[in-house]
Structure 1
Amino acid sequence: MGAAILLSALPATALESFARSSLTVETAGGGKYRFDVELAETPAQQAQGLMFREKMAADSGMLFIYDRPQPASFWMKNTLIPLDMIFIGTDGRIVNIHANAVPQSLDAVNSAGSVKGILEINGGMSARLGIRPGDRVVHSTLGTAK
């Protein structure tokens, strides 16, 4: 829970700013879903994540990017909205999805192995769009952009 432990130490007044980008999730069923995302690339940005947000647009999210593949563990402390956490492998394929993470929960949400990134979107959005493990996330930081 490395990055997660830092969350509680971050004061609300020291909020990070994030670069913005867009990505596409390509489903096995032929769907292509575009999300406007904020990029969490630094340890401070990753520690903050989507904490303190009261809402998020349906086509928005946050993409956490790691320098190297690694197991990931998150919690929802100070996160006010339910989230789907989409864990992305080195090939851009979705390894696992934790749907509807509970706001403010201290329970660990873990990747099913090493991942290159994590996409957080509004809770329930993965099910609504039919996004599943094995689907592909396309973004330049994942090396999957066309």
Structure 2
Amino acid sequence: MFVALCTLAACDDQKQAQTPVPDPAVAETSDNSAQNADSTHVLQILARDGKIHPFTVELALTPQQQAKGLMFRETMAENAGMLFYFGGEAIRSFWMKNTLIPLDMIFIGKDGTIVNVHANAVPNDLTAIKSEGPAAAVLELNGGTAGRLGIQAGDKVRHVFFGNAR
């Protein structure tokens, strides 16, 4: 019974880490279309080699959108993804529960600098995947994308949320 209770508590901790409450400032600084996960935004990753990689991303801003994320999707377009924006920086933790496709998770600081990249997260794996430092956002892309494009820690993500959009 004790093991079952500890396991249940650990699952609750993982779920809470996966679905933090977004910073209220997001609602004040973004337009109404950004509040809808069905809307898409273009963001760019500026690699250190000078290449610019554009992606069309859905936004996950509310606790409900963040809890669902990319669950139950069987495919995702090559240059598509989902941006989870939290506002404030903290150690972020995600898992792959009910996620059917492998994903690269790119943890991003509040200034748009990539903190770390977790490549090829395994579908349906309940292991916590954590940022290696404080992150204000997480970008999920198709598994293998970061490696294919040479995206790595220290690269910059350009989007209005990071105050560096052009």
Q: Give the TM-score normalised by the residue count of structure 1.
A: 0.89
* Aligned-partner SS, 2:78: coil
Structure with greater strand percent: 1
CA contact (8 A) 1:3 1:46 kept: no
Give the structure 2 partner of residue 66 of structure 1: 86
Q: How does 1:113-128 map onto structure 2 within 5 Å?
A: 113-128=133-148
CA offset at residue 67 of structure 1? Answer: 2.5
Consecutive unaligned residues of structure 2, counting only runs of 5 or more, are 1-13, 21-35
Deviation at 1:17, TM superposition (A): 4.5
Instruction: Select the structure that is richer in helix.
Output: 2
1:36 aligns with 2:89: no
136-145 vs 78-87, which moves further: 136-145
Q: Pick the structure with greater CA Rg.
A: 2
> C-alpha displacement at 1:111, in angstroms?
0.4
- Partner of 1:112, secondary structure, is coil
Q: After TM superposition, where is structure 1 displaced by more than 6 Å over at least 4 residues in a row?
A: none
- Choose from 18, 21, 28 the match for 1:4: 18
Give the aligned partner of residue 100 of structure 2. 80
- C-alpha separation between the residues in 2 aligned to 1:118 and 1:131? 14
Residues 78-103 of structure 1 show CA distances to partners (whole Å, capped at 9, x for unaligned) of 00000000000111110000000000
The one-character-per-residue Cα deviations of 1:18-75 (angstroms, maximum 9, x if unpaired) are: 3211100000001101000000011110010000000000010000001311111000
The letter for the 2-side match of 1:107 is T
- Percent identity between the two aligned chains: 53
Aligned with 1:109 (options 122, 126, 129)? 129
Structure 1 position 114, deviation (Å): 1.2
What is the alpha-carbon distance in structure 1 between the residues aligned to residue 86 and residue 163 of structure 2?
A: 12
Change over 3 Å in CA distance of 1:70–1:122 after alignment to 2: same
TM-score by length of structure 2 reads 0.79
RMSD of the alignment, in Å? 1.6
Higher relative contact order structure (alpha carbons within 8 Å, sequence separation ≥ 6): 1
Question: Deviation at 1:107?
Answer: 0.4
Aligned match of 1:143: 163
